[in-house]
Amino acid sequence: MRIGFYQFSPVFGDVKANVSKMVRIVRASDADILVMPELATSGYFFGDKEELLEVSEPIAGESVGRLIDASRESNTHVVLGIPELVEKPDARERLVYNSAVLLGPNGVVGVYRKVHLFNTEKRLFAPGDRGFPTFEVNGVRVGLLVCFDHMFPEAARTLALEGAQIICHPSNLVLPELGQLTTRVRAIENKVFWILGNRYGRETKGEKTLLYTGRSQVVAPDGKVLVSALESEDLMGVVDIDPELAKNKQIAELNDVFKDRKPQYYRLG
């Protein structure tokens, strides 16, 4: 299986341009799974909810539709971040989730809504309400997380316990070094492959600037970085893997990271 990321710097508010760029990349891809950044269609640094609503769209909207068409041409499955607009009859306002969408040649495979909202995201997005589901791509179990989820080992462990062999992680990381380190640790802890699809560049609102860290990477179950990007570059990084390796949870002759767990002694609440 060929897996990887496409790192780029989405233009804030220019959905059509961002989607067009991703469509070109997907059409040219030979990957089985390709991970784009968090909120790849829209950019990230929103000043208020109205600004966010202007670029939000339902999963069954134009952006995902165009990428499904591109996916069909190259037979590539794509994971990307999108501000997902949801109209609920019983809600007083329109809800927007910071979502990751897994799509393929046959349409939308699955959606994950970010559970752990970072900083001012709490003022803009509804928290995820679907837990941590897994999905299937070409016979391989895949889990999705979004950016700040990497700080919560329970999230990755839940996906691994559900059989995920690959974790796809669209991100807009702003804390230097941290996400690139924790994703390697999570891969080792759970003996899974990890695709970090981060963005680079900067976005400014008034006197505040967010600087994104780039350095997207694909990590093996032993923590080895198989392919990575620089801090500031457009790059499609793809590598061949054997997803069956993620089914082996043994780390020593007499140790297995799942079989040796002692849940009766853990405090999770």
Residues 51/22, Cβ–Cβ less than 8 Å: no
pLDDT confidence of residue 56: 98
Cβ neighbors of 97 (< 8 A, separation 6 or more) are: 83, 84, 86, 113, 114, 125, 126, 128
pLDDT confidence of residue 92: 72
Q: What is the mean pLDDT of residues 2-26?
A: 98
Q: 10 Å Cβ neighbour count for 12?
A: 18
> Is residue 23's pLDDT more than 90?
yes
> Is residue 175's pLDDT more than 70?
yes
**At 251, which CATH number?**
3.60.110.10
Number of domains the chain contains: 1
pTM of the predicted structure, to 2 decimals: 0.97
- How far lies 161's CA from each of 69, 133, 188, 191, 244, in Å? 33, 11, 14, 11, 15
Residues 121-135 have pLDDT tens digits of 999 999 999 999 999
Residues 141/158, Cβ–Cβ less than 8 Å: no
pLDDT confidence of residue 34: 98
Residues 179/198, Cβ–Cβ less than 8 Å: yes
User: What would you report as the CA-atom Rg of the chain, rounded to the nearest whole angstrom?
Assistant: 18
- Active-site amino acid positions: 38, 114, 147
Residues 37/7, Cβ–Cβ less than 8 Å: yes
Q: What percent of the chain has pLDDT over 70?
A: 99
Helix axes 15-28, 62-74, angle to 10 degrees: 10
Residues 73-92 have pLDDT tens digits of 999 999 999 999 998 777 67
Q: 10 Å Cβ neighbour count for 233?
A: 13
Domain extent, residue 28, equals: 2-265
